Chains A and B, each alone.
Chain A
Amino acid sequence: KNEVEQSPQNLTAQEGEFITINCSYSVGISALHWLQQHPGGGIVSLFMLSSGKKKHGRLIATINIQEKHSSLHITASHPRDSAVYICAVGNTGNQFYFGTGTSLTVIP
Protein backbone atom coordinates (compact mmCIF):
# COMPACT_ATOMS: atom_id res chain seq x y z
CA LYS A 1 0.00 0.00 0.00
CA ASN A 2 1.32 3.42 -0.94
CA GLU A 3 1.77 5.98 1.78
CA VAL A 4 0.03 8.55 -0.45
CA GLU A 5 -3.00 7.76 -2.58
CA GLN A 6 -4.46 10.14 -5.14
CA SER A 7 -7.70 10.09 -7.06
CA PRO A 8 -8.63 10.21 -9.80
CA GLN A 9 -5.61 9.03 -11.80
CA ASN A 10 -6.86 10.72 -14.95
CA LEU A 11 -9.32 13.55 -15.34
CA THR A 12 -10.73 15.28 -18.41
CA ALA A 13 -12.76 18.44 -18.00
CA GLN A 14 -14.36 21.08 -20.17
CA GLU A 15 -12.97 24.58 -19.91
CA GLY A 16 -14.69 26.43 -17.09
CA GLU A 17 -15.49 23.38 -14.98
CA PHE A 18 -14.73 23.11 -11.28
CA ILE A 19 -12.14 20.41 -10.63
CA THR A 20 -11.31 18.47 -7.47
CA ILE A 21 -8.34 16.18 -6.94
CA ASN A 22 -8.14 14.15 -3.74
CA CYS A 23 -5.21 12.90 -1.69
CA SER A 24 -5.17 10.52 1.27
CA TYR A 25 -2.08 9.65 3.26
CA SER A 26 -1.21 7.13 5.93
CA VAL A 27 1.91 8.57 7.59
CA GLY A 28 2.33 11.25 10.21
CA ILE A 29 3.22 14.42 8.38
CA SER A 30 4.92 17.71 8.99
CA ALA A 31 3.53 19.20 5.76
CA LEU A 32 1.61 18.27 2.63
CA HIS A 33 2.51 19.67 -0.78
CA TRP A 34 0.57 19.99 -3.98
CA LEU A 35 2.86 20.00 -7.00
CA GLN A 36 2.27 20.64 -10.69
CA GLN A 37 4.32 18.83 -13.31
CA HIS A 38 4.15 19.82 -16.96
CA PRO A 39 5.35 17.69 -19.90
CA GLY A 40 9.14 17.78 -19.88
CA GLY A 41 9.28 17.09 -16.17
CA GLY A 42 9.74 20.38 -14.35
CA ILE A 43 7.87 20.48 -11.05
CA VAL A 44 6.35 23.57 -9.54
CA SER A 45 5.27 23.68 -5.93
CA LEU A 46 1.70 25.04 -5.74
CA PHE A 47 0.94 24.80 -2.05
CA MET A 48 2.42 23.65 1.21
CA LEU A 49 -0.13 22.91 3.94
CA SER A 50 0.01 21.77 7.50
CA SER A 51 -3.56 22.76 8.40
CA GLY A 52 -6.66 24.48 7.09
CA LYS A 53 -6.96 25.98 3.66
CA LYS A 54 -4.90 28.04 1.22
CA LYS A 55 -5.95 29.92 -1.90
CA HIS A 56 -3.87 31.21 -4.78
CA GLY A 57 -5.75 32.62 -7.73
CA ARG A 58 -8.08 29.93 -9.05
CA LEU A 59 -6.45 27.22 -6.95
CA ILE A 60 -7.61 26.20 -3.48
CA ALA A 61 -6.04 23.53 -1.29
CA THR A 62 -7.51 22.13 1.89
CA ILE A 63 -6.29 19.62 4.44
CA ASN A 64 -8.02 17.68 7.20
CA ILE A 65 -5.34 16.42 9.55
CA GLN A 66 -7.70 14.20 11.55
CA GLU A 67 -8.92 12.42 8.42
CA LYS A 68 -5.48 12.47 6.73
CA HIS A 69 -7.01 13.89 3.59
CA SER A 70 -6.35 16.83 1.32
CA SER A 71 -8.07 18.23 -1.76
CA LEU A 72 -6.90 20.50 -4.55
CA HIS A 73 -9.63 22.49 -6.27
CA ILE A 74 -9.36 24.41 -9.52
CA THR A 75 -12.14 26.89 -10.26
CA ALA A 76 -12.97 28.03 -13.80
CA SER A 77 -10.52 25.53 -15.30
CA HIS A 78 -8.53 26.52 -18.37
CA PRO A 79 -6.57 24.47 -20.94
CA ARG A 80 -3.33 25.87 -19.52
CA ASP A 81 -4.17 24.02 -16.28
CA SER A 82 -3.55 20.74 -18.13
CA ALA A 83 -0.73 19.02 -16.26
CA VAL A 84 -0.03 16.27 -13.77
CA TYR A 85 -0.88 17.24 -10.21
CA ILE A 86 1.04 15.42 -7.50
CA CYS A 87 0.34 15.23 -3.80
CA ALA A 88 3.40 14.76 -1.63
CA VAL A 89 3.87 14.54 2.12
CA GLY A 90 6.91 15.20 4.23
CA ASN A 91 6.86 13.10 7.36
CA THR A 92 8.37 13.73 10.74
CA GLY A 93 11.24 11.38 9.92
CA ASN A 94 12.63 13.57 7.11
CA GLN A 95 11.23 11.36 4.38
CA PHE A 96 9.10 12.53 1.52
CA TYR A 97 6.38 10.46 -0.12
CA PHE A 98 4.68 11.17 -3.41
CA GLY A 99 1.37 10.13 -4.89
CA THR A 100 1.39 8.79 -8.42
CA GLY A 101 -0.22 11.94 -9.73
CA THR A 102 -3.45 12.97 -11.39
CA SER A 103 -3.23 13.72 -15.09
CA LEU A 104 -5.59 16.60 -15.88
CA THR A 105 -6.64 17.56 -19.38
CA VAL A 106 -8.84 20.61 -19.84
CA ILE A 107 -10.53 20.77 -23.21
CA PRO A 108 -11.36 24.15 -24.76
Chain B
Amino acid sequence: DAGVTQSPTHLIKTRGQHVTLRCSPISGHKSVSWYQQVLGQGPQFIFQYYEKEERGRGNFPDRFSARQFPNYSSELNVNALLLGDSALYLCASSPTGQGYGYTFGSGTRLTVV
Protein backbone atom coordinates (compact mmCIF):
# COMPACT_ATOMS: atom_id res chain seq x y z
CA ASP B 1 0.00 0.00 0.00
CA ALA B 2 1.20 3.50 -0.74
CA GLY B 3 1.85 5.67 2.28
CA VAL B 4 0.79 9.27 2.69
CA THR B 5 1.84 11.13 -0.46
CA GLN B 6 2.61 14.84 -0.49
CA SER B 7 3.35 17.04 -3.45
CA PRO B 8 5.43 18.83 -4.38
CA THR B 9 8.42 17.78 -2.29
CA HIS B 10 10.11 21.16 -2.57
CA LEU B 11 9.15 24.54 -3.91
CA ILE B 12 10.31 28.11 -3.86
CA LYS B 13 7.88 31.03 -3.88
CA THR B 14 8.17 34.79 -3.70
CA ARG B 15 6.68 36.93 -0.95
CA GLY B 16 3.07 37.80 -1.68
CA GLN B 17 2.44 34.77 -3.87
CA HIS B 18 -0.01 32.00 -3.21
CA VAL B 19 0.83 28.31 -2.77
CA THR B 20 -1.17 25.08 -2.84
CA LEU B 21 0.16 21.93 -1.21
CA ARG B 22 -1.41 18.53 -1.78
CA CYS B 23 -1.78 15.40 0.30
CA SER B 24 -3.13 11.96 -0.53
CA PRO B 25 -3.95 9.84 2.51
CA ILE B 26 -3.51 6.14 2.99
CA SER B 27 -6.33 4.21 1.39
CA GLY B 28 -9.18 3.88 3.87
CA HIS B 29 -8.10 6.84 6.00
CA LYS B 30 -10.78 9.50 6.20
CA SER B 31 -8.93 12.13 8.23
CA VAL B 32 -6.12 14.39 7.10
CA SER B 33 -4.19 16.79 9.30
CA TRP B 34 -1.72 19.51 8.32
CA TYR B 35 1.28 20.70 10.34
CA GLN B 36 3.93 23.38 9.92
CA GLN B 37 7.45 22.71 11.10
CA VAL B 38 9.79 25.67 11.15
CA LEU B 39 13.47 24.77 11.17
CA GLY B 40 14.62 23.75 14.63
CA GLN B 41 11.15 23.51 16.13
CA GLY B 42 8.54 20.84 16.59
CA PRO B 43 5.57 20.69 14.23
CA GLN B 44 2.60 22.98 14.88
CA PHE B 45 -0.95 21.88 14.17
CA ILE B 46 -2.70 23.82 11.37
CA PHE B 47 -5.87 21.95 10.41
CA GLN B 48 -7.63 18.65 10.71
CA TYR B 49 -10.30 17.43 8.30
CA TYR B 50 -12.54 14.41 8.62
CA GLU B 51 -15.12 13.36 6.06
CA LYS B 52 -14.58 16.66 4.21
CA GLU B 53 -15.39 18.77 7.26
CA GLU B 54 -12.98 20.85 9.30
CA ARG B 55 -12.65 19.27 12.75
CA GLY B 56 -9.84 21.33 14.21
CA ARG B 57 -7.89 24.48 13.56
CA GLY B 58 -4.62 25.65 15.10
CA ASN B 59 -3.50 29.18 15.78
CA PHE B 60 -2.76 30.25 12.21
CA PRO B 61 -3.94 33.38 10.35
CA ASP B 62 -6.75 33.35 7.81
CA ARG B 63 -4.16 33.31 5.02
CA PHE B 64 -4.06 29.58 5.68
CA SER B 65 -6.96 27.52 4.42
CA ALA B 66 -7.55 23.91 3.52
CA ARG B 67 -10.13 21.58 2.12
CA GLN B 68 -10.72 17.87 1.79
CA PHE B 69 -12.11 16.26 -1.32
CA PRO B 70 -14.58 13.36 -1.69
CA ASN B 71 -11.64 10.97 -2.23
CA TYR B 72 -10.23 12.21 1.14
CA SER B 73 -7.22 13.90 -0.43
CA SER B 74 -6.55 17.40 0.81
CA GLU B 75 -5.10 20.73 -0.19
CA LEU B 76 -3.49 23.33 2.02
CA ASN B 77 -3.55 26.85 0.61
CA VAL B 78 -1.51 29.76 1.84
CA ASN B 79 -2.12 33.27 0.48
CA ALA B 80 0.07 36.37 0.60
CA LEU B 81 3.15 34.38 1.52
CA LEU B 82 5.53 35.80 4.08
CA LEU B 83 9.17 34.93 4.64
CA GLY B 84 8.11 33.36 7.93
CA ASP B 85 5.97 30.83 6.10
CA SER B 86 9.14 29.06 5.01
CA ALA B 87 8.88 25.66 6.65
CA LEU B 88 8.33 21.96 6.19
CA TYR B 89 4.61 21.29 5.79
CA LEU B 90 3.62 17.85 6.95
CA CYS B 91 0.44 15.96 6.25
CA ALA B 92 -0.77 13.03 8.29
CA SER B 93 -3.68 10.72 7.67
CA SER B 94 -5.56 8.56 10.11
CA PRO B 95 -8.67 6.40 10.01
CA THR B 96 -10.85 8.74 12.06
CA GLY B 97 -8.63 11.50 13.41
CA GLN B 98 -9.35 10.43 16.97
CA GLY B 99 -5.72 10.55 18.09
CA TYR B 100 -4.57 7.14 16.86
CA GLY B 101 -3.27 5.48 13.72
CA TYR B 102 -1.55 8.57 12.36
CA THR B 103 0.79 8.11 9.39
CA PHE B 104 2.87 11.02 8.21
CA GLY B 105 3.96 12.01 4.75
CA SER B 106 7.49 13.10 3.97
CA GLY B 107 6.48 16.73 3.81
CA THR B 108 6.73 19.65 1.41
CA ARG B 109 9.66 21.99 1.95
CA LEU B 110 8.47 25.53 1.18
CA THR B 111 10.97 28.34 0.85
CA VAL B 112 9.67 31.90 0.55
CA VAL B 113 12.16 34.42 -0.81
Contact = CB atoms under 8 A, between A and B. Distances in A.
Physical interaction between A and B: yes
15 contacts: A4-B42, A30-B99, A31-B99, A42-B105, A44-B104, A45-B103, A88-B43, A92-B99, A94-B48, A94-B55, A94-B98, A95-B48, A96-B35, A96-B48, A98-B45
Contacts of A64: none
A99 B35 CA distance: 13
> Is the interface on chain A under 10, 10 to 19, 20 to 34, or 35 or more residues?
20 to 34
Contacts of A86: 42-43
B78 interface: no
Contact of A91 (B58, B92, B99): B99
Interface in B60-113: 88, 90, 92, 97-107, 109
A48 B102 contact: yes
Contact of B102 (A33, A92, A94, A95): A33
Closest CB pairs A-B (n = 9): A90-B99, A30-B99, A31-B99, A98-B42, A43-B104, A42-B106, A100-B42, A94-B56, A31-B100
A35 interface: yes
Interface of A: 4, 29-31, 33, 35, 40-45, 48, 50, 86, 88-101
A93 B37 CA distance: 21
A88 B43 CA distance: 9
A41 B37 contact: yes
B106 A41 contact: yes
B44 interface: yes
